[in-house]
Amino acid sequence: TQLLEQSPQFLSIQEGENLTVYCNSSSVFSSLQWYRQEPGEGPVLLVTVVTGGEVKKLKRLTFQFGDARKDSSLHITAAQPGDTGLYLCAGGPNRDDKIIFGKGTRLHILP
């Protein structure tokens, strides 16, 4: 069974600080996606990483896919209250067209 472990589960920091959240697995994934979800809404795709070692930047967000394609990190620079939300990583698809999700990191940015 493929599992994605996200850490930390919860993170509360002050506006302007930097942070990194992690997504780890013992399985190799063909690709990995990061989503952000706000209360009462569905997840929204932020980025897809495909190649081992790949780094993608989305404004203040930097996503990295591990060399072995088993893990990923999301780094936020100068966090803002608008970054508050549940950050989900999702891996796959592998043999089928299905992706699996981690439990998420709940991020709260204090103004």
Partner 1 sequence: DTGVSQNPRHKITKRGQNVTFRCDPISEHNRLYWYRQTLGQGPEFLTYFQNEAQLEKSRLLSDRFSAERPKGSFSTLEIQRTEQGDSAMYLCASSLGWASRARGARNYGYTFGSGTRLTVV
Positions touching partner 1 (CB under 8 A) are 4, 6, 30-31, 33, 35, 40-45, 48, 50, 88, 90, 93, 96-104
Minimum separation from the CB atom of position 19 to partner 1 (A):
19
By C-beta, is 18 or 30 nearer to partner 1?
30
Q: How many residues does the chain have?
A: 111
CB 109 within 8 A of CB 103: no
Minimum separation from the CB atom of position 93 to partner 1 (A):
5
CB 22 within 8 A of CB 7: yes
Task: Report the alpha-carbon distance of residue 77 to residue 12 in Å, rounded.
Answer: 14
Q: Answer left, alpha or beta for residue 16, where phi above 0 means left and psi between -120 and 50 means alpha.
A: left
By C-beta, is 40 or 111 nearer to partner 1?
40
By C-beta, is 59 or 98 nearer to partner 1?
98
Task: Report the alpha-carbon distance of residue 12 to residue 26 in Å, rounded.
Answer: 28
Minimum separation from the CB atom of position 54 to partner 1 (A):
9
By C-beta, is 13 or 100 nearer to partner 1?
100
